Chains A and B, each alone.
Chain A
Amino acid sequence: MGSTHAEAYRVIENAELVAVADLVPERAQAIASRTGATIRSAAEIIKDPSIDVIDVCVPTPLHRDFVVAAAEAGKHVFCEKPLARTLEEAEEMLEACKKAGVKLGVGHVVRFFPEYIDAYDRVHRGEIGEVATVRTTRGGFPLPTAWKDWYANYEWSGGLVLDMIIHDFDYLRWLLGPVERVFAKSTFGRDFNRLEYALVTLKFKSGAIAHVEGSWVNSGGFHTRFEIAGTKGLMDYDSRKANPINLTVNTTGGMPGVPVPTRPWVESPYTTEIKNFIDALQGKEGKIVDGNEGYESLRIALAALESIETGKAVSL
């Protein structure tokens, strides 16, 4: 995600990526050569008085240390989701940012995807009436591999519920308001941890019922879906069906080519997200998913993990 954010800073006009830090030198080098940023240690970057914003894309359990250090150095912070691994860590982060008077943005990027924004707008224009049920899907690809295989370490990542479908929890909370009750099931702890599959039911205070599916099991590659049913209509989105360009290349060996779906963006939602954050910091109109929002979405994900562990419904 660090390299995606780096690309966003490269593209937007009102911010400049000046320095990067990464435990893996090659990765830092790749970003540096693409963006012109210098490679320095995180500690050096954080204390550099010429830097205004720190973007934190380290693994989840390390968020707190970096965010708190950045806030204490008087920097605004953009932190990748989930905000933290635990509520205690999140509270420390919010407190540090509040005390330092800096802004904290959380990378709940789904709120910047055009189809999700469009659906939000239609719901709020009343096009499908009051929302009754929502189904979302996210995943369909094998568990990502990364530094020390941290995604596979539940204590670190919280599995796909905390790392991935928190996107949907956050979107749904934005769409429908606060959650009243959570019930969740996951393959985690039952079987191969590398094949995590989770199904979560959320009951909202509005009355709406949502079903959130998350999958780190290969089912034809990453895809997302939503179906929103209301009192006056229904909306149905499937990223697998919304492919405007499908290129199939014949290979010389007579084997069938593999179609590669392409998603043409006017602007990547990751860029939109970063641009909004920077705009807001500069006093322009820009939407920030702030620390409090990140905290509330984290609460839902942690309630889902509790439900998975106890087999009981968890009230928020």
Chain B
Amino acid sequence: MKVGIISFAHLHADAYADALKQIPYVEFAGIYDEDADRGKAKAEQFGVHHFTSLEEMLATDIGAVIICSANADHCYYTLKAAEAKKHVLVEKPIATNVEDANKMIDACKKNNVKLQVAFPVRYNPSMIEAKKIVESGKLGRILAIKGTNNGSMPGGWFVDPEKAGGGAVMDHTVHVVDIIRWMLGLEFEEVYAEYDTLIYDIPTDDCGMLTMELTGNIFATLDTSWNRPPSYPTWGGVTLTLVGTSGVLEMDAYGQYYQVFRNDLDKSLWAPFGGNTDLYLVKDFVDACIQDKPVKVKGEDGLRALEVALAAYESGRRKQPVKIEEIR
């Protein structure tokens, strides 16, 4: 199957491009980017065709596109791709508002193409192992959940409220919400959030602390802060602690690393060896398209995760908890 990438605005595009090159039965057919210079440079870097117009790319016989634009543009590109009968793998969050997300889901259904949201953490071997432990019943009934998705401040369009739809809360709520839904089969009902701009001089929030009520009388917290300084040994991470009646499970999705100290750098590094989740994600999506199987992370899953981030922002405005159904 031939696959194209639309936009390299999101830095994950590089990892997906690498993945496409590694899957033997996939042809990385080319790149379209609204920033033509970036598109040309990336096309050269990966040795693929540079499409100067979206229409030109979508008129070819590619079977699917991977969309890595700014969050607010996900909807536009997804609708275009769906109309051209291309399957879509869209970077998270699915969109910046519920209306756009619904349009994307509907368009892909109507055009009978697949829509997957890029939640690579579901493909993390540690998380898959943890899910087995949960399903074994060793933890008993789950009582409470503590999650973190901290990172460094990404800058660029990520801190443009229009293009990103928010800041650290928008960027880092969705992964852990999706993991909790996937691992435990729970849904989110209510969100309280404290967030603020405390570290950088940017127009969005850079720190966020969410507290959530879930189905099953379970509560959870999630730290979304972009508080990893440039001197930190890695970009950030995803952790999850499950407290059950019979046990506690502590997970660190990127905990498989060793430390590297190099004289040519002014900080130590954590060298990860826990697997290439971006590759597993892209391969699974492509396989679903080729074999016409359901995708692992549907548009609706992306929407459920987005709703939590949107409820968090509403909670911040009210300074009180907000029910998810209020923002639907």
Asked whether A168 is an interface residue with its Cβ less than 8 Å from the other chain, the reply is no
- B207, A132: Cβ atoms under 8 Å? yes
B residues with CB within 8 A of A? 141, 143-144, 146, 148, 192, 194-196, 198-200, 206-207, 209, 211, 213, 217, 219, 221, 223, 225, 227-229, 231-232, 243, 245, 248, 250, 319-321
- B223, A133: Cβ atoms under 8 Å? yes
Across the interface, which residues of A come within 8 angstroms of B320, CB to CB?
A: 312-313
- B207, A233: Cβ atoms under 8 Å? no
Q: What is the number of contacts between chain A and chain B, taking CB atoms within 8 Å?
A: 103
Q: Which segment, of A36-44, A194-202, A286-294, faces chain B? A: A194-202
Q: Which 7 A-B pairs rank lowest in CB-CB distance, beginning with the nearest?
A: A229-B227, A132-B198, A219-B248, A185-B219, A199-B221, A132-B199, A187-B143
- A201, B248: Cβ atoms under 8 Å? no
Across the interface, which residues of A come within 8 angstroms of B250, CB to CB?
A: 219
- A312, B321: Cβ atoms under 8 Å? yes
- B228, A209: Cβ atoms under 8 Å? no
Given A197-B243, A201-B211, A233-B229, check contact A185 B221 (CB 8 Å): yes
Interface centre among A207, A211, A311 (most CB of B within 10 A): A211
Those of A185-228 within 8 Å (CB) of chain B? 185, 187, 190-192, 195, 197, 199, 201, 203, 207-209, 211, 213, 215, 217-219
Rounded to whole Å, the gap between the CB of B273 and the closest CB of chain A is 20
Asked whether A66 is an interface residue with its Cβ less than 8 Å from the other chain, the reply is no
Q: List 14 A-B contacts (CB under 8 A).
A: A132-B227, A133-B209, A183-B211, A185-B213, A191-B217, A199-B219, A199-B221, A208-B198, A209-B207, A211-B209, A211-B223, A213-B146, A234-B227, A234-B228
Across the interface, which residues of A come within 8 angstroms of B217, CB to CB?
A: 190-191
Across the interface, which residues of B come within 8 angstroms of A197, CB to CB?
A: 143-144, 243
Across the interface, which residues of B come within 8 angstroms of A213, CB to CB?
A: 146
A217 to B199 CA separation, bound complex (whole angstroms): 34
**Residue from A132, A181, A208, A233 within 8 A of B231 (CB atoms):** A233
Asked whether A135 is an interface residue with its Cβ less than 8 Å from the other chain, the reply is yes
Across the interface, which residues of A come within 8 angstroms of B148, CB to CB?
A: 135
Please count how many residues in chain A sit with their CB below 8 Å of the partner chain's CB atoms: 36
Across the interface, which residues of B come within 8 angstroms of A191, CB to CB?
A: 141, 143, 217, 245
Contact indicator per residue, chain A 135-148, by CB within 8 Å of chain B (1) or not (0):
10000100000000
A207 to B195 CA separation, bound complex (whole angstroms): 9
CB-CB nearest in chain A for B222: A211
Across the interface, which residues of B come within 8 angstroms of A208, CB to CB?
A: 198
**Residue from B196, B219, B245 within 8 A of A209 (CB atoms):** B196
Given A181-B319, A234-B232, 13 other A-B residues pairs in contact with their CB atoms under 8 A: A132-B196, A132-B199, A133-B227, A140-B248, A185-B211, A187-B144, A191-B217, A191-B245, A211-B209, A229-B199, A231-B200, A234-B231, A313-B321
Asked whether A92 is an interface residue with its Cβ less than 8 Å from the other chain, the reply is no
Across the interface, which residues of B come within 8 angstroms of A229, CB to CB?
A: 199, 225, 227-229
- B144, A135: Cβ atoms under 8 Å? no
CB-CB nearest in chain B for A135: B223
Rounded to whole Å, the gap between the CB of A240 and the closest CB of chain B is 10
CB-CB nearest in chain B for A308: B219
**Residue from B144, B192, B195, B225 within 8 A of A183 (CB atoms):** B192
Rounded to whole Å, the gap between the CB of A309 and the closest CB of chain B is 14
Across the interface, which residues of A come within 8 angstroms of B229, CB to CB?
A: 128, 229, 232-234
Asked whether A130 is an interface residue with its Cβ less than 8 Å from the other chain, the reply is yes
Rounded to whole Å, the gap between the CB of B94 and the closest CB of chain A is 27
A201 to B193 CA separation, bound complex (whole angstroms): 9
Rounded to whole Å, the gap between the CB of A233 and the closest CB of chain B is 5
Rounded to whole Å, the gap between the CB of B224 and the closest CB of chain A is 10
- A207, B196: Cβ atoms under 8 Å? yes
Across the interface, which residues of B come within 8 angstroms of A130, CB to CB?
A: 198
Rounded to whole Å, the gap between the CB of B196 and the closest CB of chain A is 6
A230 to B248 CA separation, bound complex (whole angstroms): 30
CB-CB nearest in chain A for B212: A185
CB-CB nearest in chain A for B192: A183
- B143, A195: Cβ atoms under 8 Å? yes
Interface centre among B146, B232, B250 (most CB of A within 10 A): B146
Across the interface, which residues of A come within 8 angstroms of B211, CB to CB?
A: 183, 185, 199, 201
Rounded to whole Å, the gap between the CB of A264 and the closest CB of chain B is 25
Rounded to whole Å, the gap between the CB of B10 and the closest CB of chain A is 24
Contact indicator per residue, chain A 289-316, by CB within 8 Å of chain B (1) or not (0):
0000000000000000000000111000
Interface centre among A135, A209, A231 (most CB of B within 10 A): A209
A93 to B56 CA separation, bound complex (whole angstroms): 79
Given A133-B207, A233-B231, A234-B232, check contact A201 B194 (CB 8 Å): yes
Rounded to whole Å, the gap between the CB of A197 and the closest CB of chain B is 5
- A199, B227: Cβ atoms under 8 Å? no
Across the interface, which residues of B come within 8 angstroms of A195, CB to CB?
A: 143, 243, 245
Those of A232-257 within 8 Å (CB) of chain B? 232-234
Rounded to whole Å, the gap between the CB of A88 and the closest CB of chain B is 27
A233 to B230 CA separation, bound complex (whole angstroms): 8
CB-CB nearest in chain A for B319: A313
Interface centre among B209, B217, B225, B232 (most CB of A within 10 A): B209
CB-CB nearest in chain B for A231: B199
A312 to B200 CA separation, bound complex (whole angstroms): 29
Across the interface, which residues of B come within 8 angstroms of A231, CB to CB?
A: 198-200
A130 to B248 CA separation, bound complex (whole angstroms): 34
A256 to B260 CA separation, bound complex (whole angstroms): 32
Rounded to whole Å, the gap between the CB of B70 and the closest CB of chain A is 25
CB-CB nearest in chain B for A184: B211
Interface centre among A185, A191, A213, A234 (most CB of B within 10 A): A185
